[in-house]
Structure 1
């Protein structure tokens, strides 16, 4: 016998989203169409599964669960405890880790939160940190600052000295890193990046860290899916702590994980757990942890290994296509999921190519390249193949994507001439409201991109025929 829906002030609690808030439903529908009709090339994005979305949007969003499994500050967490323990188990299985050696905290809200919690667990305020510099492919949370400003918490609360890539090759300068570590004496050495297209020498990094009595932390957020599939070197062989997001090549919802090695320091588990809660955040988002659990189960499936291998193959195919046009790529290619394209030799900025691509429904991001002096007007763009591979694209399809990107560069040259100025505002004006050849070329590229992209299914949408273009 079903219980009737109440007809009082609680009636709204039983409505669908379309009934309760058609405005938000329309925005979601529009975003669905944007993803379906365009090409997602942002290296830090992916397209997660229908099952992951369903878990992430589940009734678990109702439950508060500060603390750890078996030691919560609220009651009613028996099923949340089961979920969190299952997620921990799957996280260790996904990376083939011995639970006697490694533990994991699955509560961080994001990769940035995971990183700061890890810093909090390992070192003290004003201790010294070395991470790859942002213009050289590192991440903001690895201690980035400018001459005028400390940008993130990692540079505000700790003393930071970045290491760099070699100017001629784009590869990390490990010998200079060793020399500077001898001078700076870091307490924490951070490896991993957000725009570095090569693998890492974890053994050498461990030796450098050991020579200074420093911890070695790997932020594998970008490449964690490739690490799980054994497509790249394994940071767990050498690192003390490994952090990651769960939404990039791992293809889950937006969250973070902290793995910690238990066989080197007996109290590391307690320190990491206390750093996550209560030091850096409140109660975990149980609905998101459920989504992470589902995604990790998919990572363990052999099909994911095929996916990860294809991500790398697609990135290399796209790099080869761009190279055929004689464009300059950082490190002259890639061995992971991303490409860093230096536009400075052809007199363009990342901001201009990003804008043209966005108008043509190609989503990528401007990005600093080694030698840049401004992160606001960087000289490059970053491209990733995780999302396109999730749409079942292969090397032959990367040929088409590479041609689209080449056309975007040619259009930029036309618009720059039409604008008669190198200022971004003049360039954008011509691209969006101009009546010249440049704007017509953008419209044609947009139509071609749409025709190509809509031939591929969109993860999370079982029937793409129901996806409709926005009314406007």
Structure 2
């Protein structure tokens, strides 16, 4: 049963309530291994489901365009103060609705249409909003892109520096969506300073690892930090922008009134709760366990003959290249889903297949770790993944159903926030 119980919703809209109950049960019964997903705490669930959703609050604390803010202002101020303390930054803005609008605000604050911007190419592990062609950031600005070495899947900083010196971008983005290795923020900062660019660290995937001390921080290297508040940070679906004092006013103006109206106050409250949770010793232990689990899983998958982009992982993320398995990422991901293992198909660097039918599958350990799984369970997880991929190759649906049953049996011993 969903917790908190959906009593009023079940009475008012039983069809929708049944769908939500079904999704809660699915989340309980599957190994959720999409690297960008997690489980929020009961406290975050409660905060995001409050009457705060009723209130409009255009502007910032103390400078609103609507009255009735005597409780809303302290909530936003609390979230801002917790973000600044947790990450050690001069300034934080907790109003962006999600990661993509947060990154758009960075462009609005720093650049004009047609300016040159630089980021990791999407097929190499970057993000759409780092200047990829189908994104507004690729259409409105002049993007130049760096890659990874084909030999080892690592960022080639000689290439990054050569491109930056030649193209002189106004903004350089570090970070992405499928980077299994530690991001060298000092190297990026050195290159950005050399060419007079502003370095933006997009830490959406690794914010929780940074908060917990399991990944180096970009603070002191990147002038601006963009992040979502879910993923490894384990908060609600929202975003934050953090910066030095020099860029604070321009970023705030870009968020509001540049791109948004009123913030989502219920999300702000959930962010405040998650930031408080992320400041605890138990969260630091959680962040380090995410990495330990990912490393153990990577080793177990390697032992079973899987090819891992860059040969392994330093963080929460593993990118499998299934080329040698003679199966595409899409059918493999669908088979894994039927087997109770939720992943996503993903392009791998220098992929010869199309983006909608790529060669890779992306895995992550944040949600498994929230449920309480440790290194001890990772060989079993790898065994299930291997069996599911083999079953997909053989079109053996019965084996997939068998694995799903074994997964459900294991997860009965691991509680899930939001389900009883």
| Distance in 2 (alpha carbons) for counterparts of 1:47 and 1:316 | 21
1:278 alignment partner in structure 2: 257
Residue 444 of structure 1 pairs with residue 407 of structure 2: no
| Distance in 1 (alpha carbons) for counterparts of 2:61 and 2:256 | 13
- Cα-Cα RMSD: 1.0
Displacement after TM superposition at 1:50 (Å): 0.4
| Distance in 2 (alpha carbons) for counterparts of 1:198 and 1:277 | 34
| Distance in 2 (alpha carbons) for counterparts of 1:61 and 1:46 | 22
Q: Rg larger in 1 or in 2? A: 1
1:419 alignment partner in structure 2: none
Q: How many residues align?
A: 413
Of 342, 345, 350, the residue aligned with 1:366 is: 345
Of 211, 214, 217, the residue aligned with 1:231 is: 214
Displacement after TM superposition at 1:234 (Å): 1.2
Residue 68 of structure 1 pairs with residue 60 of structure 2: yes
| Distance in 2 (alpha carbons) for counterparts of 1:185 and 1:68 | 35
1:401 alignment partner in structure 2: 381
| Distance in 2 (alpha carbons) for counterparts of 1:269 and 1:306 | 32
8 Å contact 1:390–1:459 — kept in the other structure? no
Alignment deviations for residues 436-457 of structure 1 (CA, whole Å, 9 cap, x no partner):
xx12212212211221222211
2:411 alignment partner in structure 1: 453
8 Å contact 2:24–2:418 — kept in the other structure? no
Pick which of 286-295 and 368-377 moved more.
368-377
Q: Could you list the runs of 5+ residues in structure 1 that have no partner in the other structure? A: 1-14, 146-150, 416-437, 465-472
2:105 alignment partner in structure 1: 117
Residue 215 of structure 1 pairs with residue 198 of structure 2: yes
8 Å contact 2:86–2:279 — kept in the other structure? yes
Of 52, 65, 68, the residue aligned with 2:44 is: 52
Alignment deviations for residues 39-74 of structure 1 (CA, whole Å, 9 cap, x no partner):
100000000000000000000000000001000000
| Distance in 1 (alpha carbons) for counterparts of 2:179 and 2:92 | 26
| Distance in 1 (alpha carbons) for counterparts of 2:87 and 2:168 | 31
TM-score by length of 2: 0.97
Of 162, 166, 175, the residue aligned with 1:192 is: 175
| Distance in 2 (alpha carbons) for counterparts of 1:413 and 1:111 | 36
Residue 131 of structure 1 pairs with residue 119 of structure 2: yes
1:173-192 equivalent positions in 2, closer than 5 A: 173-192=156-175
| Distance in 2 (alpha carbons) for counterparts of 1:408 and 1:163 | 35
| Distance in 1 (alpha carbons) for counterparts of 2:194 and 2:114 | 20
1:311 alignment partner in structure 2: 290
Alignment deviations for residues 367-392 of structure 1 (CA, whole Å, 9 cap, x no partner):
01001252111110100000000000
TM-score by length of 1: 0.86
Residue 382 of structure 1 pairs with residue 362 of structure 2: yes
8 Å contact 2:336–2:389 — kept in the other structure? no
| Distance in 1 (alpha carbons) for counterparts of 2:17 and 2:410 | 26
